[in-house]
Amino acid sequence: MNRRFLISLLLLWSLGPLLWQVYTSFCSDQALIQPFISHDHRWTLTHYQNVLNANPPFWRYLVNSFIVGVSSTLLCLVLALPAAYALNRIPRRLSILSRLALVGAALFPYVLLFLALLELAREFNLGNQLLALSLPYAALSQPLAILLLNNAFNDLPPELEDAAKLEGLSLFQRFRWILIPLISPATASTAILVFLFSWNEYPIALTWISDSNKLTLPVAMARIAGSSIYSVPYGAYAAATVLGSIPLVLLVLIFQKPIVSGLTSGAVKG
């Protein structure tokens, strides 16, 4: 009984705030102000209609975030896979040292980098381009990606590659046909974590993108919130919150295994 109570409490704590948004998003404006309104005026879909018919429509932000997420993930993996492999084949001391540096970089509160990155964006005209955002995103998720993938390469038996070498396979062939398929679970975890990071990233997207048609979801949400605390259309906000949450809730429900294994293998071995 005691445990059941604790579990309910945990679920209420985790999901309550989100469910409250779902509830709010279907409430009419009057119902939000007067909690004891009669049933006829209580429920409405207008908040969703408003958000979806706004200019630009809400789904535009989801598409933008999706484009940025996918391109960042691909770029990150293309760079991290060879680096993670090579990290085991440099002198041991150097390898340990670089792993330490990577842990340090992964811990670093990257928000402090926004100003220098903004200068880079200005210098190379990278502002207001969705695909350009994948450069800083791939770079910022590089430490975590390399560490996770390096762990996976470490777990492979070394005889495997030696045998492939004796068969005369080149480095690229070994990579393509033997190593990559074997570490695909770790690659999947890494990819999802990088995607999550890119989807959720705010400070850099905020400073790089100003065109309202190219905003990513987090920046769009903040812009919606930009007005004063007191004169706020909360029904529409709640609808936006719900719509913005749905893709990620689905992502977590579908990919919970690789997410958990990615986060924990980083902790267990890193």
Partner 1 sequence: MIVFLLLPALLLLLIVFVGPLFRYAWLSFHANSVMTGLIAIPNGGANWLRLMQDQRYWQDLGQTLRFAGVSVGLELILALSIALLLDQRWRGRDVVRTLTLIPWALPTTVMALGWRWIFNTPYGPVDHFTKLAGIGSLNILGDPNFAWMATVWADVWKTTPFAALILLAGLQTIPADLYEAVRLEGGNSLICLRRITLPLLRPYILLALLFRIAQAFGVFDLIQVLTGGGPASSTESIALYAYWNALRFLDFGYSSTIIMASFMLISLICVFAWMFLQILIPTHSKSRGAIES
Q: Which of 18, 52, 131, 160 binds partner 1 (CB under 8 A)?
A: 18
Q: The tokens 């993930």 sit on which residue?
A: 73
Q: Tokens for 247, please give them.
A: 């893709």
> φ, ψ for residue 231 (rounded to 5)?
-110, 80
Residue 210 CB-density burial (10 A; 0-12 exposed, 13-18 middle, 19+ buried): exposed
> φ, ψ for residue 213 (rounded to 5)?
-80, -15
Q: How far is CA 72 from the centre of its chain?
A: 10
Q: Which of 45, 90, 97, 131 binds partner 1 (CB under 8 A)?
A: 90
Residue 159 CB-density burial (10 A; 0-12 exposed, 13-18 middle, 19+ buried): exposed
What Rg do the C-alpha atoms of the chain give, in angstroms? 23
Q: Which of residues 141-170 bind partner 1 (CB under 8 A)?
A: 142-143, 146
CB of 113 to partner 1, least distance (A): 5
Q: Which of 147, 194, 215, 219 binds partner 1 (CB under 8 A)?
A: 219
Q: Which stretch binds partner 1 (CB under 8 A): 44-52, 160-168, 176-184, 249-257?
A: 249-257
**CB-nearer residue toward partner 1: 86 or 182:** 86
258 near partner 1 (CB under 8 A)? no
Q: Which stretch binds partner 1 (CB under 8 A): 50-58, 75-83, 153-161, 178-186?
A: 75-83
CB of 247 to partner 1, least distance (A): 10
256 near partner 1 (CB under 8 A)? yes
Burial code (b: 16+ CB inside 10 Å, e: under 16) for 234-248 equals: bbbbbbbbbbbeeee
CB of 245 to partner 1, least distance (A): 5
82 near partner 1 (CB under 8 A)? yes
Contacts (Cβ under 8 Å, ≥6 apart) of 71? 130, 131, 134
CB of 171 to partner 1, least distance (A): 7
CB of 107 to partner 1, least distance (A): 5
Q: Which of 67, 70, 105, 178 binds partner 1 (CB under 8 A)?
A: 105
Q: The tokens 């404006």 sit on which residue?
A: 29
Say how many Å lie between the first and final Cα of the chain, rounded. 38
CB of 159 to partner 1, least distance (A): 20
CB of 39 to partner 1, least distance (A): 19
CB 150 within 8 A of CB 88: yes
State the Cα–Cα distance between residues 24 and 146, nearest whole angstrom.
42
**CB-nearer residue toward partner 1: 26 or 237:** 237
CB of 19 to partner 1, least distance (A): 10
**CB-nearer residue toward partner 1: 56 or 247:** 247
Q: Which of residues 29-58 bind partner 1 (CB under 8 A)?
A: 32-33, 35
Beta bridge partners of 27: 43
CB 53 within 8 A of CB 121: no
Q: Which of residues 117-136 bind partner 1 (CB under 8 A)?
A: 117-120, 135-136
Beta bridge partners of 43: 27
